[in-house]
Structure 1
Amino acid sequence: MGGVNEIPQGTLEQQTFFEAVGGEPTFRRLVRRFYEGVAEDPILRPMYPEEDLGPAEDRLRLFLMQYWGGPRTYSENRGHPRLRMRHAPFRVDQAAHDAWLLHMRAAIDELGLEPDLERQLWDYLVYAAASMVNTAG
């Protein structure tokens, strides 16, 4: 028999990271702020062929929301993320990596997340940025 203070198995709801940070509104703010930086960045802006950054903003927001436990809209619309393949046509070097993280850091800082959640998000984004590098220099 379990102790008096035991919580019966299956009675605690697991909250996803997506929910813990505030759901879609948080990811909208993050990605919107990120692309405000990209729009003015001489290294990153040329990597976005669309005149308007809106489609890229939508793709990144949907991807991040799905990755962190939100709706699966990204995969439903675009299939498997295949991030390296999708970035292969673009020259992603150390300068692009650094610029991407610079704008993402500014966007994260404006969210005001709890430190543990912020660290978890940042660590993933640092890893993701490094994995997109496909050109020396």
Structure 2
Amino acid sequence: MSDTSAATQTPQRDDSAEVTPYDLIGGEAAVRALTDRFYDLMDLEPRFAELRAMHPEDMAGARDNLFWFLSGWLGGPQLFVERKGHPMLRRRHMPFSIGEKERDQWVQCMVQAMEEEGVDDALRTRLAVSFFQTADFMRNREG
């Protein structure tokens, strides 16, 4: 599977009248709030301890990277691509030992963040499927 397959889980922004997940969530401020809540939950919830341990003490860079990535992945501005080039998700995550537990913690943390940030139920369900598929693609070890 190539790096591009993970990025195709959610349609990219189109200049037509199509409403994107980025638009439905509420645009830039809402995507930033979602990203911040995601990382706040990692610090607050003991059930995300293994996920938190994979990150540096200062997560400012990780917050920015995820915000930039999500903006484009959800159909908004391609902030990550503009700053860092193609996301190459799998390659960028290879240094980290990612198994089912880490995948599941990431997805659970994101779903909780979406719930707490008031993402519409139908959109949250749709995005949770895409997030799971993308997170599963990041796995580089069994278990």
Q: How far apart in 1 are the matches of 2:64 and 2:50?
A: 21
Q: How far apart in 1 are the matches of 2:89 and 2:77?
A: 18
Of all paired residues, the percent bearing the same amino acid is 36
How far off is 1:81 after superposition? Answer: 0.5
Give the residue type in structure 2 aligned to 1:26. Answer: A
Summarize deviations over 1:29-84 as a string: whole Å, max 9, x none: 211111112235431223223x3111101100110111111111110111100000
TM-score by length of 2: 0.80
Q: How far apart in 2 are the matches of 1:78 and 1:17?
A: 22
CA contact (8 A) 2:71 2:77 kept: yes
Q: How far apart in 2 are the matches of 1:100 and 1:58?
A: 17
Aligned pair count reads: 125
How far off is 1:95 after superposition? Answer: 1.4
Q: How far apart in 1 are the matches of 2:140 and 2:25?
A: 31
Counterpart position of 2:84:
78
Which of the two has higher C-alpha Rg? 1
List gaps (5 residues or longer) in structure 2. 1-15
Give the residue type in structure 2 aligned to 1:39. Answer: D
Is 1:69 aligned to 2:79, yes or no? no
Partner SS for 1:100: helix
CA contact (8 A) 1:97 1:129 kept: yes
Partner SS for 1:136: coil
Give the residue type in structure 2 aligned to 1:91. Answer: S
Counterpart position of 1:58:
64
Q: RMSD over aligned Cα, in angstroms? A: 1.6
- Mapping 1:1-137, distance limit 5 Å: 13-40=17-44, 41-49=48-56, 51-137=57-143
More displaced, 108-117 or 37-46?
37-46
List gaps (5 residues or longer) in structure 1. 1-11
TM-score by length of 1: 0.83
